[in-house]
Amino acid sequence: MKKNDATLRKFFQPKSLVLVGASSTEGSIGYEILKSILRFGYQGKIFVVNPNAKEILGVACNPNLESVETEIDLAIILLPKKFVLKGFQECVAKGIKNVIVITAGFKEVGNEGAELETELVKIALKNKVRIIGPNCMGLINTDNSIKLNATFAAELPKFSKTVFLSQSGALGAAVLNTISQTGFSFGQFVSVGNKADVNENDLLEFWGADKNIEVITMYLESFEDGRKFFDLAKRITPIKPVLVLKSARSEAGLKAAISHTGALASSDKIVDTALNQSGVIRVETIEEMFETASALQKFSLPNGNRVAVLTNAGGPGILLVDELERNNLKLSSLSSETEKRLREILLPEASFGNPIDMLPGATSQIYKTAAEILLDDENVDSLIIIFVEPVMVNSFDVLTELSSVQKKSKNPVLLAAFPLPQFWERWNESENKDTIIYKSLEIIPKILKHLWERKNQIEKYLVKSEQSERIKESERVSIQKIFNSKKNNILQQTEINSICNKLKLPIAKGIIVKNFGEAEKKIKSIQFPVVLKVESTEIVHKSDVGGVIVNIKNLKELKVAFTQLQQNLKQKKYSSKGVMYLVQEFVEGGIEVIIGGLRDSNFGPLVMFGSGGKLVELIKDNNFALAPINIAEAEKLIINSKIYPMLNGFRGDKKIAIKSLTEILLTCSELMTKFPEVEEFDINPLIVKAEKGKSKIVDMRIIVS
Amino acid sequence: MKKNDATLRKFFQPKSLVLVGASSTEGSIGYEILKSILRFGYQGKIFVVNPNAKEILGVACNPNLESVETEIDLAIILLPKKFVLKGFQECVAKGIKNVIVITAGFKEVGNEGAELETELVKIALKNKVRIIGPNCMGLINTDNSIKLNATFAAELPKFSKTVFLSQSGALGAAVLNTISQTGFSFGQFVSVGNKADVNENDLLEFWGADKNIEVITMYLESFEDGRKFFDLAKRITPIKPVLVLKSARSEAGLKAAISHTGALASSDKIVDTALNQSGVIRVETIEEMFETASALQKFSLPNGNRVAVLTNAGGPGILLVDELERNNLKLSSLSSETEKRLREILLPEASFGNPIDMLPGATSQIYKTAAEILLDDENVDSLIIIFVEPVMVNSFDVLTELSSVQKKSKNPVLLAAFPLPQFWERWNESENKDTIIYKSLEIIPKILKHLWERKNQIEKYLVKSEQSERIKESERVSIQKIFNSKKNNILQQTEINSICNKLKLPIAKGIIVKNFGEAEKKIKSIQFPVVLKVESTEIVHKSDVGGVIVNIKNLKELKVAFTQLQQNLKQKKYSSKGVMYLVQEFVEGGIEVIIGGLRDSNFGPLVMFGSGGKLVELIKDNNFALAPINIAEAEKLIINSKIYPMLNGFRGDKKIAIKSLTEILLTCSELMTKFPEVEEFDINPLIVKAEKGKSKIVDMRIIVS
């Protein structure tokens, strides 16, 4: 077991460090990192190992590690690749427990590099040494008591309680290069490179436990162990926000899927599901990540998604409203009291709807009073204020007043301002210079959406919910027997029928027969009308080949149907030899839904819910959750689906008890978690009806490993 | 008839102008506009009217307009609202033909203001005077021979061949206030305010005809006459790009719709349709608008949507790829020759797929050579180059080389760079300072998408296509008779049947009867199986009330079906008194589509195509086009629909001739254009089958005014 807290701390708070392979060549990484460390005033002791130089940048060189007499917390290896192993072994011999390997040329370049990387990890594990990298750009801790910039970036962010992990060193460099324009701030930064040892899970756990850290941000290209990340995140996000920018959305899809569920999943869909379900805020750009991180520290969370917009400029107000709607936020309906109070202070030509357009003449005093009136309205969860500098109003005064409104408000107050350029010089010298003022409108609704999502997550989904098991041990054992004795990876209808019966899943009554003769004998248990379906592992989409005949009212029609179906198969060039038939009760009407299950190699078992039937892949109503799910998560799956409005009484249908669907989903979730051999399953369609106990599964497929 | 070219020119190129109501109070609009005009060096003669001042800002004041002796091209009225009418009349008396009314307080504040505005327009029309405004912020012409900044904005854009119309003065102000940060450039700017006279259509026509203008951009909140805008844009976009940022997406939906088509339309959907169909590029943000405008002037249009990405930084490359995919662009598959040539110059550890990651060490020479190799590959339609400044490479050299690659290339080469801040100082002094270098990645795919869209539009859709009429005059006359004698706004089944027959629309055979007895007598014309449907204007969604019984095989079953259907209606509390029934041939199988028509008060007739059947509003496969449509537009409607993959052989269905669907769409388009009384119609579903002549309309509704 790794103990991340104790073993990772020295990476970020070393009392001493050594650069193994520092260089005296200006412009080389081994030179520039030392320069950064010195320039930004590292508070600990610095040692340098280089057998060929006497001193570099004023720091005396040691010929080797052995000759350094003190104990050392952190080694940074900058050696050419061929010397890395030897250098690392010397670190181990010296008793150093934390090593950053900057050098590239390992796993990322092929087999030989991968072997070398494995060798490093083996030695590290044996000696309880932790490695960051290789192929990384180092780390930063801007805390005043540390001041460590062990990267080759020439710019340093301002300190904040945000931390930042980047799986790409170059992306880290791009962020740092432009930090004087963007103003992004963070306390710790680490480039994890190839993640040979320390990975996002270690750091998530480490930072999650650190009380001085308020927001964790990560740029990730892959998950080392997706299920572990999910479990950790689920534990940490109730305490502090975790923001993830996950790229490589377009990576190749899942392995060729047999089920609809598989076809509807993509690795990015699964990542999205895992992040959302564990309470992680997923962002799409670096700007969105850091701006949201700042906002989370500066503003309290809104109590709802109702937003008031106060502006002196109509056009920008309307543009903002469009963006709000795209982000699922809505405009507050203001109370008549609010309108009355606003009318007392604004010009009669102003717009009193929402957005409130005060017209260009609004002064700092009017801005302040109008903002306060809006914040008094209980229909306002957040307030966005836009200010475009007009001729006759002083920007500095307006923003000073608004800054104080923002500080006093218990609701989020977000400011967007378009003053003349000279404003900024004066503002940046003022006591309010740390007020967040957005210079573009588009980012604001995204931030507000994340604040509201987080509030929602915390209240609804990140709560512990105990729940009783649905599959009892005795049932599990008897179902396990069915799996153990299966003949084929795709289960047969009889096997599926008995599994459903044991799980109390409401599968439609049916019999499997060879021909009409057999059907005639066995039909008693089923009432007409019935449906006749072909049963063949060869035929996946039955209705496409005319393999389904519905609404058969009596034995005579059933006989005709058998003949017809065999003809259809013949036409489609399927042999009817050895084919079996399902005679099943005919379920008419109702709403078709799909419930599915899937096992992902990285994130483990998932369940799915959505619109079912023949058009399932066209509608793409694919709502996934990692199993096991609790009641709230099952309900969320249903509510977020496109079919929900129909279930909930779309076009006059009776409102259908969501409860019974929830029960089926919870059972299906356990089907995935209790039976590791289940690879995929599809219930499509489950025909949902308004009356209790009338919903029926008319087709189900289970694929086992 | 307005003659825009002659009458509008003097707004932008006045040889002399007068400010009516200039003020000596610093900070007032009447003062600041004069200050702007003087400050930016207007090249014509300036007069000022103010009876109470001797001079303002060094310009001698005239007590009234009459006392100005010269002829004047342009008047700018800055008077308080109550003096505007009088001031305007004086302008007319003086023979001034172009007047900008800056003053607010007209239509935008209610009835009284609206009346005053109408009065101004009346006088203007009578005297052939053109008005811009009222309630606007003026105009700008940055052309060196004019240098007119007749706004109160204190900043001036750099000159370019882009022009910019803003329906919101405040948005114009926000753009101008921040122009030193954004660097946006344009040659002419006009704030149209209330559009009492001059509106977006006038300016579109005017700018469209001006050979010195290359790109037209507009921020619009409403269309004065949508159909006219559409017609003008269709004529102009083949010659020069028109970019529109249309806000107020969320404005209230259409009037309560009776048809599915109406329910699927929204005013924003119709705007989107009109813009797209007329070749206008619709953008979502101001940044996207101006950056695309610049790119359209700087780059040639790509020949396809295949993009190569060249980078020295992995992470940003991957993030960019995600954005490319979101914008329907794809990565080029590079030729083996390209890979071979790249391997000769890059490190073996580089990534040779696409994106090509050259690793941080790539020098300016390597950048240049690699870019040239990629541009030689015929699979590369556009090239995006990312550069993150590493320690050992000189940014200035790299970007200088890339700038020259960009200039020489016949394909678009877009550069994104993240150098250290000090780079920009040197760059902005260099001869390449006008090279477009993007400072963030997100905007690039949006720009490239628009370039590709424009190429596509020009080649495929903005071509003239003659086409023969489908509805002959004799047919038109006989259909018109049906409309003239209709009893109800919702046409009856018999009326619809005969219209379809005349239009050769393939409606399924059916008879309308009162009861089973009548059906028994008349049924001969139809073959079993049949379907029985209730016909009542009260019942809109028949299947929801059990009003449809399918697959009736003989007279006996039909009798039972009548009883059953009457029972169903009773259960749903519908009286079966006076209800009629449709006995119709039963069309089984096939793919259900919807075809609809709609008449919008602003944009005129439209047709729609999409997935049909019961789930139509759930799938929301709503593809509209303004009628009349040509063959290419009809095909585009089909190809862009969600149902297209199914029509085109989804899951083994035979490929269905798109041709017959196209024919039906063209006929429906004429149904809308030839019969102005048709308000809405729905064909839902049209059941499409692979075999020729087998597709059938099983339900159609026509609503007339």
Among A37, A194, A247, A288, most B C-beta atoms within 10 A, so best to mutate, is A247
Q: Which long-range contacts (CB under 8 A, 24 or more apart) does A494-499 make?
A: A495/A702, A496/A700, A496/A701, A496/A702, A499/A702
For B36, which residue in chain A has the nearest alpha carbon?
A: A391
In this structure, the dihedral spanned by the alpha carbons of residues A8, A14, A20 and A24, taken in order and rounded to 10 degrees, is 140
Residue B331, pLDDT > 50, answer yes
Nearest CA-CA distance, residue B597 and chain A, Å: 22
Cα-based distances in Å from A88 to A116, A366, B180: 11, 66, 52
By three-state DSSP, how is residue A185 classified? strand
CATH pick for A591-704 out of 3.30.470.20, 1.10.10.10, 3.30.70.260, 1.20.1630.10: 3.30.470.20
What is residue B1's predicted lDDT score, i.e. its pLDDT? 39
For B553, which residue in chain A has the nearest alpha carbon?
A: A557
What is residue A569's predicted lDDT score, i.e. its pLDDT? 85
Using the beta-carbon criterion (under 8 Å), do A421 and B155 form an inter-chain contact?
yes
- A299-461 is classed in which CATH architecture? 3-Layer(aba) Sandwich (3.40)
Residue A538, pLDDT > 90, answer no
CA separation for the pair A704, A473 (Å, rounded): 20
For B649, which residue in chain A has the nearest alpha carbon?
A: A544
Residue A237, pLDDT > 50, answer yes
Candidates B170, B250, B652; nearest CB to A316 = B170
B475-494 pLDDT per residue, tens: 999 999 999 998 888 898 88
* Contact by Cβ (8 Å): B138, B33: yes
Using the beta-carbon criterion (under 8 Å), do A177 and B420 form an inter-chain contact?
yes
Cα-based distances in Å from B507 to A435, B299, B488, B587: 67, 51, 21, 11
What is residue A254's predicted lDDT score, i.e. its pLDDT? 44
- Give residues with Cβ within 8 angstroms of A385, minimum separation 6: A309, A310, A311, A367, A371, A402, A413, A414, A415, A416
For B550, which residue in chain A has the nearest alpha carbon?
A: A551
Residue A251, pLDDT > 70, answer no
B547-560 pLDDT per residue, tens: 888 889 899 999 99
A307-357 pLDDT per residue, tens: 999 999 989 999 999 999 999 999 999 999 999 999 999 998 888 989 999
CATH pick for B294-461 out of 3.30.365.10, 3.40.50.261, 3.90.550.10, 3.30.565.10: 3.40.50.261
Q: Determine which of A280-289, A295-304, A537-546 has the lowest per-residue pLDDT on average.
A: A537-546
B27 CB within 8 Å of a chain A CB: yes
What is residue B259's predicted lDDT score, i.e. its pLDDT? 67
B241-292 pLDDT per residue, tens: 999 999 876 654 444 556 677 777 778 899 999 999 999 999 999 999 999 9
Instruction: Count other C-beta atoms under 10 Å from residue B462's C-beta.
Output: 18
A643 CB within 8 Å of a chain B CB: yes
CA separation for the pair B483, B473 (Å, rounded): 15
CA nearest to B125, candidates B84, B88, B156: B88
For all residues of chain A together, what is the average pLDDT? 91
Among A329, A591, A618, most B C-beta atoms within 10 A, so best to mutate, is A618
CA nearest to A163, candidates A134, A192, A129: A192
Residue A105, pLDDT > 50, answer yes
What is residue A118's predicted lDDT score, i.e. its pLDDT? 96
B353 CB within 8 Å of a chain A CB: no
CA separation for the pair A156, A362 (Å, rounded): 40
In this structure, the dihedral spanned by the alpha carbons of residues A44, A48, A53 and A57, taken in order and rounded to 10 degrees, is -30
User: A509-586: which CATH topology?
Assistant: Dna Ligase; domain 1 (3.30.1490)
Residue A4, pLDDT > 70, answer no
Of all helices (H) and strands (E), which one includes residue A87? helix A81-93
Within 8 A of A319 by CB-CB distance, chain B residues are: 171, 245, 247, 285-286
Tell me whether domains B4-240 and B294-461 share a fold. Answer: yes
CA nearest to A357, candidates A347, A365, A368, A372: A347
Using the beta-carbon criterion (under 8 Å), do A360 and B170 form an inter-chain contact?
yes
| Choice between A575 and B385, residue whose per-residue pLDDT is larger | B385
A397 CB within 8 Å of a chain B CB: no
Per-window interface: A 146-175 vs B, CB < 8 A: 152, 154-155, 166-174
For A173, which residue in chain B has the nearest alpha carbon?
A: B388
What is residue A252's predicted lDDT score, i.e. its pLDDT? 42
B626-684 pLDDT per residue, tens: 999 998 899 999 999 988 888 876 554 556 667 889 999 999 999 999 999 999 999 99
Residue B390, pLDDT > 70, answer yes
CA separation for the pair B616, B620 (Å, rounded): 6
Using the beta-carbon criterion (under 8 Å), do B541 and A104 form an inter-chain contact?
no
Per-window interface: A 469-508 vs B, CB < 8 A: none
Nearest CA-CA distance, residue B421 and chain A, Å: 7
- Give residues with Cβ within 8 angstroms of A177, minimum separation 6: A153, A154, A155, B388, B389, B418, B419, B420, B421
B53-81 pLDDT per residue, tens: 999 999 999 999 999 988 999 999 999 99
CA nearest to A519, candidates A484, A486, A559, A550: A559
- Classify residue B692 as exposed, middle or buried by CB count within 10 Å of its CB (0-12, 13-18, 19+): exposed
Amino acid at A487: K
A610-659 pLDDT per residue, tens: 998 877 777 788 899 999 999 889 999 999 998 888 887 655 455 666 78
Per-window interface: A 220-259 vs B, CB < 8 A: 221, 245, 247-250
CA separation for the pair B60, B49 (Å, rounded): 9
Q: Determine which of A368-377, B159-168, B331-340, B523-532 has the lowest per-residue pLDDT on average.
A: B523-532
What is residue A196's predicted lDDT score, i.e. its pLDDT? 96
- B4-240 is classed in which CATH architecture? 3-Layer(aba) Sandwich (3.40)
| Choice between A261 and B218, residue whose per-residue pLDDT is larger | B218
- B522-585 is classed in which CATH architecture? 2-Layer Sandwich (3.30)
Candidates B181, B618, B652; nearest CB to A643 = B618
Using the beta-carbon criterion (under 8 Å), do A168 and B32 form an inter-chain contact?
no
Residue A418, pLDDT > 70, answer yes
By three-state DSSP, how is residue B577 classified? coil
For B180, which residue in chain A has the nearest alpha carbon?
A: A421
Percent of chain B with pLDDT over 70: 96
Per-window interface: B 439-468 vs A, CB < 8 A: 439-442
What is residue B649's predicted lDDT score, i.e. its pLDDT? 65
Q: What average pLDDT does this structure show over A73-98? A: 96
Q: Determine which of A112-121, B253-262, B406-415 has the lowest per-residue pLDDT on average.
A: B253-262
* Contact by Cβ (8 Å): A402, A408: no
What is residue B366's predicted lDDT score, i.e. its pLDDT? 97
Q: Taking the domains of chain A in order of start, what are their residue ranges?
A: 4-248, 299-461, 509-586, 591-704
Q: What average pLDDT does this structure show over B379-399? A: 94
User: What's the pLDDT band for A402 if we cut at 50, 70, 90?
Assistant: very high
What is residue A255's predicted lDDT score, i.e. its pLDDT? 46
User: What's the pLDDT band for B307 if we cut at 50, 70, 90?
Assistant: very high
Beta bridge partners of B594: B610
What is residue B244's predicted lDDT score, i.e. its pLDDT? 98
Q: What average pLDDT does this structure show over B122-134? A: 96
Residue B388, pLDDT > 70, answer yes
User: What's the pLDDT band for B17 if we cut at 50, 70, 90?
Assistant: very high
Classify A4-248 by CATH class: alpha beta
What is residue A180's predicted lDDT score, i.e. its pLDDT? 84
CA separation for the pair B2, B170 (Å, rounded): 29
